[in-house]
Structures are given as structure tokens and as C-alpha cells.
Amino acid sequence: MNQMVPEIVEIGVANARIKCVTRQRVEYLDEAGQECFVDLKECARNRVKHVESWRVEDGAREWDFRLVAKCRFLDDDSPCFEFMNDRRTRFVFGSLEGAKALKSLLAKARWRVLSEF
């Protein structure tokens, strides 16, 4: 996976918000109000590349290929999502409730996340 600096979007700051989550993507507005999206299938393809680089002979489980993001807390305790897309998009939330809502929407779209919360 590309190791460039992540694209950081502070959800709830200025115009930044999540518009919708579909099976294909997460649509959002960035702080400037620009319409953007995270391609979830791109995330899954990047996950497959990552898994194939370290998996053992018994193979990876099916869920590994639906994993598109990881949720964690930053050093300042802000919850965030880090997507596995080429831009390494990171959504930073002001509240745990907002992060949990995105996690739930991704689950409804049948995607998985590694989660600390």
C-alpha cells in the first residue's frame, strides 16, 4: 500500500460531513465544501495486495477481503477512520458517536473495519 501522507478530513469542521455510504463508496464533503468520495472497492483491492504480501499457506479468511478501514484513537483521543485507498483518506471525528455511526453504515453496506471502539 502507498505510504504517502494521508489525506485528512476533519468531519464536523467547516463544511466537512459524510453524505452517504453505499456498497461502492463513501461520499463526503471536505472542509471547503468540495464533493469527494472514498472508493471502497479500491480499499478492498489494496487490502488484498497487503494480505497477499504476508499471508501464510493456510490462506486468508474471507472477511480479510471485505476489510476497508481501521478505526482508532489518535494521540489526542479523537476517533478516526483510516481508509485503505490510495490517498489513505483519514476521517477525524470530534465525537465517538460520529465515528460509530460511520462504522455502522459501513457494516450495513457489508464492509468490515478493524476497530478499537
Q: What is the DSSP string of 42-81?
A: HHHHHHHHHHHHH--TT---GGGGGEEEEEEE-TTS-EEE
- Sheet of strand 25-29: strand arrangement: 17-21, 25-29, 35-39
Q: How far is residue 3 CA from its own chain's centroid?
A: 15
Comparing 56 with 5, which gets the higher pLDDT?
5
pLDDT at position 1 over 50? no
CA distance 22 to 6: 22
Q: pLDDT, tens digit, for every residue of 31-62?
A: 999 999 999 999 988 877 766 555 555 555 55
